[in-house]
Amino acid sequence: MRFALIGAGRIGAVHARSVAASPDVELALVADPVDGAAERLASAYGAAATTDVADVFADDTVDAVIVGSPTPYHVDQIVAAVDAGKAVLVEKPVDLDLARADWCLAQVGGRADRVMLGFNRRFDAAFAEVRSRVAAGEIGDVEQLTIISRDPAPPPVAYLASSGGIFRDMAIHDLDMARFFLGDIVNVHAVPQRLDPALAEVDDYDAAVVTLTAASGAVATIINSRHNAAGYDQRLEAFGPRGALRVENHTATSVVLDAAGVSGARGPHLDFFLERYADAYTRELAAFVAAVREGTAPTPSLLDGRQALALADAATQSARTGLSVAPAPIPASAAV
Ligand SMILES: NC(=O)c1ccc[n+]([C@@H]2O[C@H](COP(=O)([O-])OP(=O)(O)OC[C@H]3O[C@@H](n4cnc5c(N)ncnc54)[C@H](O)[C@@H]3O)[C@@H](O)[C@H]2O)c1
């Protein structure tokens, strides 16, 4: 299987490494319009490089495309790749505009099973284990899901200005995890916090608590912050009638220090997403490769990407109005 990678930035480098480490697949081509960017990444893996993204779609020897470009380009690149007969793994979010995500679904139509969304947290070994133990009935039907997701430090305000806001940019991973565990969500209530007043400039928040009510009646609570003095904070608990399954933060070592003035010290959390989810990105790629080889629909799907974005939109609206908001239904034109 020959891969092309679109976008040679932070996440592009992660995917290039995963492809190179994956058996029987090859990174054939890297595309990035910024001079030298594709070349730098491609040369590390013996791949060809281009500054013209259209070369990816025109190359008949490319079977699969990873879209790791900035979010506003995702939709057009998904559609062009699917039209060219390629399977696609696209980074989250699908777009910042739900109407564009719906347009993408409509364009892709019956070929939606050729597209996988890069919600990598579903592939984290610990979260996936909780999910499968829940499915096996170990704690009974989940009643409450708690997700804590805090970044170590906020990105620059200039990044936030075009990020789509905390719910579309950051919480979207957690909103997808809530769907992964609880299925359809019918109601969203967000309580935003603006701890840094500079964020008023970009009409964004740097923390929020979001509650989601699932069609089943289960409730998820998502706790987000753009900063955390203790580092990257990624925890999850599923609670049911027969107990709870919990994932704590990962640390570089499992050795614990007890000494004068300290007990149970485990060393710092893993730095950030590149470290915490390194294995998840590899497992995500393996799932994509397996689906393409078997001709099965990959999960999470393009529709999962659309639904997470609808939840992010609902959370944004709830944060602004103080009201609970139902996520926008899928329009008939986008139904797959
Ligand atoms: N799943 C995750 O954990 C995760 C983590 C980080 C970023 N992301 C997503 O990945 C995408 C890229 O983020 P990033 O942090 O790698 O950004 P980045 O800025 O580091 O890299 C983006 C790259 O895309 C290139 N580019 C710009 N315009 C392009 C175009 N029209 N076509 C192709 N390439 C283009 C840029 O030159 C740059 O090299 C975003 O959608 C982001 O939300 C996902």
Asked if residue 104 is part of any domain, the answer here is yes
DSSP letter assigned to residue 325: B
CA gap 63, 68 in Å, rounded: 16
Based on the domain organization, do 53 and 140 belong to the same domain? no
Q: Is 25 in the pocket of ligand 1 (CB under 6 A)?
A: no
CATH of the domain at 42: 3.40.50.720
Q: Is 64 in the pocket of ligand 1 (CB under 6 A)?
A: no
Q: How far is the CA of 332 from the centre of ligand 1 (A)?
A: 31
Asked if residue 147 is part of any domain, the answer here is yes
Q: What is the DSSP string of 241-287?
A: TTEEEEE---BS----EEETTEEEE--PBPSSHHHHTHHHHHHHHHH
Tell which of 70, 99, 117 closes a domain. 117
Which residue in this structure is represented by tokens 């679109």? 6
DSSP 3-state of 105 = helix
What are the tokens at 95? 């777009």
Based on the domain organization, do 142 and 212 belong to the same domain? yes
Q: Is 175 in the pocket of ligand 1 (CB under 6 A)?
A: no
pLDDT digits (tens, 9 = 90+) for 82-94: 999 999 999 999 9
Q: Is 305 in the pocket of ligand 1 (CB under 6 A)?
A: no
Asked if residue 20 is part of any domain, the answer here is yes
DSSP letter assigned to residue 146: E
State the CB neighbour count (10 A cutoff) for residue 166.
Answer: 29
CA gap 5, 27 in Å, rounded: 8
Q: Which residues of 299-316 are buried (b: 16+ CB within 10 A; e: fewer)?
A: bbbbbbbbbbbbbbbbbb
- pLDDT of res. 34: 98
Based on the domain organization, do 219 and 261 belong to the same domain? yes
Q: Is 32 in the pocket of ligand 1 (CB under 6 A)?
A: yes
Based on the domain organization, do 190 and 327 belong to the same domain? yes
CATH of the domain at 221: 3.30.360.10
Q: What is the DSSP string of 33-50?
A: SSTTHHHHHHHHHT-EEE
Atom of ligand 1 nearest to the CA of 34: 37
Which three-class secondary structure string do you get for 162-186? CCCCHHHHCCHHHHHHHHHHHCCEE
| Residue type present at position 222 | I
- pLDDT of res. 336: 66
- Cis amide leading into 329 (omega within 30): no
Domain that holds residue 65: 2-117
Based on the domain organization, do 112 and 130 belong to the same domain? no
Based on the domain organization, do 313 and 209 belong to the same domain? yes
CB 15 within 8 A of CB 32: no
CA gap 136, 121 in Å, rounded: 20
Number of compact structural domains in the chain: 2
Tell which of 77, 99, 117 closes a domain. 117
Atom of ligand 1 nearest to the CA of 14: 16
What are the tokens at 225? 């912050």
Backbone angles phi, psi at 312, to 5 degrees: -65, -40
Q: Which of 147, 175, 140 is nearest to 247 (CA)?
A: 147
Asked if residue 208 is part of any domain, the answer here is yes
Q: How far is the CA of 37 from the centre of ligand 1 (A)?
A: 12
pLDDT digits (tens, 9 = 90+) for 116-154: 999 999 999 999 999 999 999 999 999 999 999 999 999
Residue bearing the CA closest to ligand 1, atom 29: 69
Which of 5, 11, 92, 175 for mutating ligand 1's site (highest number of atoms within 8 Å of CB)? 11
Tell which of 93, 117, 141 closes a domain. 117
| Residue type present at position 191 | V
What are the tokens at 234? 């990624």
pLDDT digits (tens, 9 = 90+) for 57-75: 999 999 999 999 999 999 9
Which stretches does DSSP call E strand in the chain? 2-6, 26-31, 48-50, 64-67, 87-91, 115-118, 144-150, 185-193, 207-214, 219-225, 233-240, 243-247, 257-259, 262-265
Based on the domain organization, do 321 and 182 belong to the same domain? yes
Asked if residue 294 is part of any domain, the answer here is no
Based on the domain organization, do 39 and 79 belong to the same domain? yes
Q: Which of 52, 62, 128 is nearest to 89 (CA)?
A: 62
- pLDDT of res. 215: 98
pTM for the structure as a whole = 0.97
Asked if residue 93 is part of any domain, the answer here is yes
Based on the domain organization, do 192 and 255 belong to the same domain? yes
Asked if residue 287 is part of any domain, the answer here is no
Based on the domain organization, do 108 and 217 belong to the same domain? no
Based on the domain organization, do 149 and 97 belong to the same domain? no
- pLDDT of res. 334: 84
Based on the domain organization, do 213 and 64 belong to the same domain? no
Q: Is 155 in the pocket of ligand 1 (CB under 6 A)?
A: no
Mean pLDDT is lowest, of 52-56, 205-209, 268-272, for 268-272
